[in-house]
Structure 1
Amino acid sequence: MRSDEIVASAGTACQLQLPGFAEQDRDSYALSDDDTDESKGIARRKQEERFVRARHKAQLIRARGAFCCMSGASFDVPQGFSLLQVSHFWPLGQGGPDTLVNVGLMAPNIHPVYENGLVCIRPDYSLRFAPDIPPGFMAEFRGRDRLIVLGDTRLDPAEANLAYHREEIFMRRLSRLGLSMQD
């Protein structure tokens, strides 16, 4: 099996899709002699980041299954691609590690809700919703109030990564908006 294939829960092989990154697009990062060293470095980093995310996605799907870690929803196209997105609990752009204990698979409609600080994850993996989360956004969680974990420290989110999001994104957003949060 190629590294860009996964085994679906039904046991059939299917191809792993990265949004906007198809097999035929692998050469889109080809560098020409006219490119500057800086642009070559940027292109190489972007290419490596995409491959790392694809590897994380395949590993998480193999270990946890192809469903959103927050809502439990499956976003697989039968005999096709997974539409789940890799989300970093501690964002890479804010110094978070690009490791399995810092990523989760999220549905495309849940991912921005989490990244924008409308929900966070407590140390016991329960979900904490912002008081101003719109009801339609809450409905996307399908009544779930806990992150789906395996009990495996090699794959489950590390508390340091969850704490960063909870304090630096979720709580700062609430503070900035003048909203209070009581447990």
Structure 2
Amino acid sequence: MNMVPNEVFEKYRKQFHSLKRATNTNLGKAPHKPILLLSIIQLIHKGEIQINKVFITGELVIAFKSNWISLVETNHTQNFSLPFFHLNSEPFWRLVYINGLSDKKEKISSLGKLKSRIAFAEIDKDLFELIINPIYRTELENTILDFYFPNTKANYQFGIIDRYDLENIIKEQILNDTKEEYRTLMIEKSLELTDNEIEEERYIRGSIFKREIPKIYQNQCCISGMRIETTTNAQMIDACHIIPFSLSNDDTVSNGISLSPNLHRAYDRGLITINEDYIVRVSPTIKENDSPFSITQFAGVRILLPEDNKKYPSPENFIWHKKEVFVF
């Protein structure tokens, strides 16, 4: 016999009341799981999570951090990967592993390992349907806030992810900092933060870089002009670092261009490059048949550039790529 919505709500309300949480002698019970659940509810409300699958995204990590700052009073270590992994002990949450195989003895406590092992988490469809409903969603949020964060619940804004201060600060740095300023900032953060915190920081910044660079190029590939728009959140144009972040510590617009996935791959492998005067060069090692999708057709093409010349890619970075990556 199928349960009516009120019975379904009561089931999940009880489950939310009895989350299994680690206990620290000095700090008390961990707040990580309820913070992550609130963050997921907010993203479902905003339409950024549209099905009952929860992927690891920069938006979710930002929401988690923002809610943590607003609600958590204890000195627990802020770590996104812990609740994402350990919610698997709750009846409504299931982890889906990338290789399809799980190790019951495995413990995941870093974002890098989480992303390398977990494809996504799946929540019950009944729970997802409850969250879509504004009445039940608000009740579930209140259940979490009243039980776990009674002293700080007034800081929570229903339906609004108060992540925008954090997000806008990073966005402004990516769009307006010089590469020297940005590198200095990242060096300072690497000295101030733990290994896991700097991993999460870089992931968030990389996610914002991937979102903002295509916008600057009107969501077009700067070489082919390809633009695909969808009614979903799918992004079909890539943000490409001219000099890899691992070498440059640079997420600023001067180190980014927008490329279609095939040209992004060709650029990263040195099969194409761009001169300091923004002209495409194609490696002589390429041999291909005559096709509308050929890479050689773009030899000698001048790339599309942002409307604002302050956001142009750096000629110095293109010189580096031509010297260090391009295959002559």
2:293 to 124, 139, 143: 139
The answer as to 2:259 corresponding to 1:82 is: no
Distance 2:211 2:310 in 1: 15
Give the unaligned 5+ runs of structure 2. Answer: 1-46, 49-54, 65-78, 84-107, 114-192
2:218 to 58, 65, 71: 65
The answer as to 2:311 corresponding to 1:155 is: yes
98-107 vs 137-146, greater mean Cα deviation: 137-146
Map of 1:1-183 to 2, 5 A cutoff?
Answer: 21-22=56-57, 26=61, 29-31=80-82, 41-95=194-248, 97-135=250-288, 139-141=293-295, 143-144=297-298, 145-150=301-306, 152-170=308-326, 173-174=327-328
Distance 1:151 1:88, change over 3 A: same
Distance 1:24 1:155 in 2: 24
Letter in 2 for 1:147: I
Q: Kindly indicate whether the alpha-carbon contact (under 8 Å) linking 1:71 and 1:140 is maintained by their aligned counterparts in 2.
A: no
Q: Kindly indicate whether the alpha-carbon contact (under 8 Å) linking 1:75 and 1:107 is maintained by their aligned counterparts in 2.
A: no
Q: Kindly indicate whether the alpha-carbon contact (under 8 Å) linking 2:81 and 2:109 is maintained by their aligned counterparts in 1.
A: no
Distance 1:110 1:54, change over 3 A: same
Question: How much does 1:96 deviate?
Answer: 5.3
Q: Secondary structure at the match of 2:239?
A: strand
Letter in 2 for 1:78: T
Distance 1:56 1:95, change over 3 A: closer
Letter in 2 for 1:155: K
Q: Secondary structure at the match of 2:262?
A: coil
Q: Percent identity?
A: 20
Q: Which has the higher contact order (CA 8 A, sep 6+)?
A: 1
Distance 2:273 2:246 in 1: 18
64-73 vs 52-61, greater mean Cα deviation: 52-61
Q: Secondary structure at the match of 1:125?
A: coil
Give the unaligned 5+ runs of structure 1. Answer: 1-13, 175-183
Q: Secondary structure at the match of 1:124?
A: coil
Distance 2:241 2:314 in 1: 11
Distance 1:159 1:169 in 2: 15
Distance 1:55 1:35, change over 3 A: closer
Distance 1:139 1:35, change over 3 A: closer
Give a deviation string over 1:44-88, Cα, whole Å, max 9, x none: 333222322232233334332112122211244333321322211
Structure with the greater alpha carbon radius of gyration: 2
